[in-house]
């Protein structure tokens, strides 16, 4: 199956550059922006702002998946999502919903959402694949062992790249077998991983996508590994996030999931210009010799 394009009702992503997914958390307890967009009006205003900053798509979440976060009932999750998703139908970019519950996914897809972002890769709810297949949704299949709440308690990899590649490959194959036609793979930065694991997965994200036959999305924004590298608290990891974004794009990431869209677009623009110039110089040199 060809990795690109990813076709949504409002956009076609052809892989010609790294796309920016803006994060919109409707939660009271997300690790970096919890509580800021709980009121629907503020959330919708934030979504418009993210689009103005150049977001290619917006990921809306109503349950925090940080380690130790309390799971929420589907009804609570949907009560947070519904008014916001209804208002976001007018936006010019595709919307994804960050949920691992098929019931929530089904309702969201009924409101015109194009993409389901499942941090468990379809593993925590047996109905997820069927719902996405029936609605012809794009499914983001993220790597995660166990449940988000306990994911940092037993982190053990002998060869993180090989193990994530194999487990993601199995998750993608299960989704394809169930009829989900459009898939994006995500190695799950910070999801049951330590610093050294996150670094390997970012460094080899393009290789991972090529081997899995799917575009790769990475979500390094403000995460713990950046704190470990810089010594900075979550609110001061903006510059560190941009380092990860530029490096991941250089290594082949198809999408980056970030809180600060304007800054990520700038970083990507510069990284892409430099990559383009490399090609130009090589071509010029080749032409002269
Ligand atoms: N990271 C978070 C949430 N969802 N989805 C994908 N596909 N990839 C990620 O890396 C990813 C994700 C965690 O970030 P955030 O939404 O800011 O925090 P929280 O889970 O606390 O709401």
Please tell me the distance between residue 65's alpha carbon and the centre of ligand 1 in angstroms: 7
* Residue range 200-251, pLDDT digits in tens: 999 999 999 999 999 999 999 999 999 999 999 999 999 999 999 999 999 9
Please tell me the distance between residue 25's alpha carbon and the centre of ligand 1 in angstroms: 9
pLDDT exceeds cutoff 90 at 285:
no
> Cβ < 6 Å from ligand 1: which residues?
23, 25, 27, 30-32, 61, 64-66, 98, 117, 119, 140, 142, 186, 189, 217, 219, 257
Q: What's the whole-number mean pLDDT along residues 270-289?
A: 77
As to burial, measured by CB atoms within 10 angstroms (0-12 exposed, 13-18 middle, 19+ buried), residue 258 is buried
pTM above 0.85, yes or no: yes
Please tell me the distance between residue 24's alpha carbon and the centre of ligand 1 in angstroms: 10
Average pLDDT, rounded, for the chain? 95
pLDDT at 286: 59
Q: Are 172 and 214 in contact (CB under 8 A)?
A: yes
Residue of 257, 260, 261 with the most ligand 1 atoms within 8 Å of its CB, for mutation: 257
Q: Which residue has the tokens 């925090």?
A: 64
Characterize the bridge pairing of strands 12-13 and 6-7.
antiparallel
Q: How far apart are CA 278 and CA 208, in angstroms?
A: 24
pLDDT at 108: 98
pLDDT at 147: 87
């Amino acid at each position: 199956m060809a990795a690109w394009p990813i076709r949504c009702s409002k956009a076609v992503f052809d892989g010609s550059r790294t796309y920016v997914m803006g994060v919109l958390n409707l939660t009271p307890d997300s690790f970096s922006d919890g509580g800021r967009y709980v009121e629907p009006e503020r959330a919708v205003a934030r979504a418009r702002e993210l689009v103005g900053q150049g977001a290619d798509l917006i990921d809306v979440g109503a349950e925090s998946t940080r380690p130790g976060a309390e799971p929420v009932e589907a009804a609570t999750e949907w009560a947070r999502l519904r008014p916001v998703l209804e208002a976001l139908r007018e936006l010019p970019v595709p919307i994804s919903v960050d949920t691992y519950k098929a019931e929530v996914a089904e309702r969201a897809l009924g409101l015109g959402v194009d993409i389901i972002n499942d941090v468990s890769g379809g593993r925590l709810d047996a109905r997820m694949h069927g719902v996405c297949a029936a609605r012809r949704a794009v499914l983001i299949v993220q790597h995660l062992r166990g449940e988000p709440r306990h994911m940092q308690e037993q982190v053990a990899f002998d060869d993180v790249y090989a193990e994530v590649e194999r487990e993601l490959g199995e998750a993608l194959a299960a989704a394809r077998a169930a009829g989900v036609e459009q898939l994006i793979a995500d190695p799950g930065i910070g999801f049951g991983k330590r610093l050294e694991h996150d670094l390997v997965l970012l460094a080899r994200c393009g290789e991972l996508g090529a081997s899995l036959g799917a575009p790769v999305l990475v979500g390094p924004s403000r995460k713990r590994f950046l704190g470990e590298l810089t010594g900075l608290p979550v609110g001061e990891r903006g510059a560190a996030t941009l380092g990860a974004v530029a490096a991941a794009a250089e290594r082949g990431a198809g999408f980056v999931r970030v809180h600060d869209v304007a800054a990520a677009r700038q970083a990507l623009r510069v990284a892409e210009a430099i990559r383009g110039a490399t090609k130009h110089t090589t071509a010029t040199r080749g032409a002269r010799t």
